[in-house]
Amino acid sequence: MAFSRRNFLKGAAAGSAAAACAAATTTPAEARENLTMPPKAVGLLYDSTICVGCKACVVACRDANDTHPEFSTEEKLWDNPLDISGKTITVIKMYSEGTGQHKDQEKDGFAFMKRSCLHCVDPSCVSVCPVTAMTKDPVTGIVSHEPADCIGCRYCIVACPFAVPQFEFDKAFPKLLKCQLCKHRQAEGKIPACAEVCPTGATLFGPVTALKEEADRRLAVPAGKPNTFARKTVGSPDVHEHPNAAYVQHAYGTTEMGGTQMLLLSGVPFEKMGYPKLRERSYASEAETIQEGIYHDLIAPVALFAGLLYVARKNTKNHDEEE
């Protein structure tokens, strides 16, 4: 038999099958459940129905994180990013349908929606990072990126179900950018810049447990009934009154992918606001369960290596005999 690429690949397939059989006979790996939220986790509640689209949060985010204005038109008169990118880590996007006359209404309406990192409870970006440049704080739950440790593989970009991490493709020495919940400001006793400057309290900072309670409270108030909304931080005495909107009866982020520390409220279905329907089990828990099954006791890799080695030796021997 001639030693050829075809014969080697055929043998490799056989070796892989043998490895799979060997793996199947091992003790099955125990499924990893979703990670749980730290008791003192902090986050944001974004309420689309009281957002006026002023984009003060976008400007404040730039100032706090030293990012540069981004222009989507030739006339560079106003910072107008279309989405989060290697220059923009927080953005306000607009939904519009039909005549666009009614705020927070799906038909013939318009609405605003914030785009930034949701700080997943069980983040895929942390799970796939091979050098732990992506980390999740065990106390605050903030998902952070450390540029000094990053090797630029961009696995986190592919893994994130919300397409949040962004890369500076236009620079000779690029970095990866994402919202880190202004952890440098929190270390100084301040709150995230986006929540601090929001004039209506559409972006609210606080403990995630309190944010969930506030979201549930708003969802329980009938549409049209006057309601109070705090500014800057949950439970703040700085409040204003506004008629309650007709909410979608779900706070996005309470269950999606095992939960997130940024919660979203909206009067328009989330799928139309750029947030997809997602299951409760995190991708990270499933991927790590599969990896544990494959690499359990290293049986499958050893079996695969042995199979490939056998095929290589056999083909080499046949090649020598034909000569």
**pLDDT tens sequence across 221-234:** 999 999 999 999 99
| pLDDT over 80 at 114, yes or no | yes
Evaluate the CA torsion angle 252, 257, 258, 261 in order and state its sign. negative
Q: Which of 142, 143, 152 is nearest to 176 (CA)?
A: 152
Amino acid residing at 152: G
| pLDDT over 90 at 304, yes or no | no
Domain ranges across the chain = 5-33+285-322, 42-280
Q: Where do the DSSP E strands lie in the chain?
A: 42-47, 91-96, 102-103, 109-115, 134-136, 143-145, 166-167, 176-177, 203-207, 226-230, 239-243, 262-265
Q: What local confidence, expressed as pLDDT, does residue 291 receive?
A: 72
Q: What local confidence, expressed as pLDDT, does residue 204 receive?
A: 98
Q: What local confidence, expressed as pLDDT, does residue 254 receive?
A: 97
Q: What local confidence, expressed as pLDDT, does residue 28 receive?
A: 59
Tokens encoding 177: 């950018």
Tokens encoding 322: 């034909």
Q: Mean pLDDT, the chain, as a whole number?
A: 89
- Percent residues over pLDDT 70 in the chain: 82
Q: What local confidence, expressed as pLDDT, does residue 216 receive?
A: 98
Q: What local confidence, expressed as pLDDT, does residue 31 receive?
A: 82
Q: What local confidence, expressed as pLDDT, does residue 10 receive?
A: 54
Q: What local confidence, expressed as pLDDT, does residue 296 receive?
A: 54
Residue 292 pLDDT level (bands cut at 50, 70, 90): low
- Three-class SS state of 179: coil
Residue 308 pLDDT level (bands cut at 50, 70, 90): confident
- What is d(CA 286, CA 68) in angstroms, rounded to the nearest whole number? 38
- What is d(CA 165, CA 158) in angstroms, rounded to the nearest whole number? 9
Q: What local confidence, expressed as pLDDT, does residue 309 receive?
A: 72
Cβ neighbours of residue 40 under 8 Å, at least 6 residues apart? 139, 140, 207
Judge: domain 42-280, CATH 3.30.43.10: no
pTM over 0.85: no
Q: What local confidence, expressed as pLDDT, does residue 6 receive?
A: 57
Decide if 223 contacts 247 (C-beta within 8 A).
yes
Tokens encoding 214: 């506030």
| pLDDT over 80 at 73, yes or no | yes
Residue 135 pLDDT level (bands cut at 50, 70, 90): very high
Note the residue count of the chain: 323
Decide if 230 contacts 268 (C-beta within 8 A).
no
- What is d(CA 16, CA 315) in angstroms, rounded to the nearest whole number? 16
- Percent residues over pLDDT 90 in the chain: 75
Q: What local confidence, expressed as pLDDT, does residue 276 receive?
A: 93
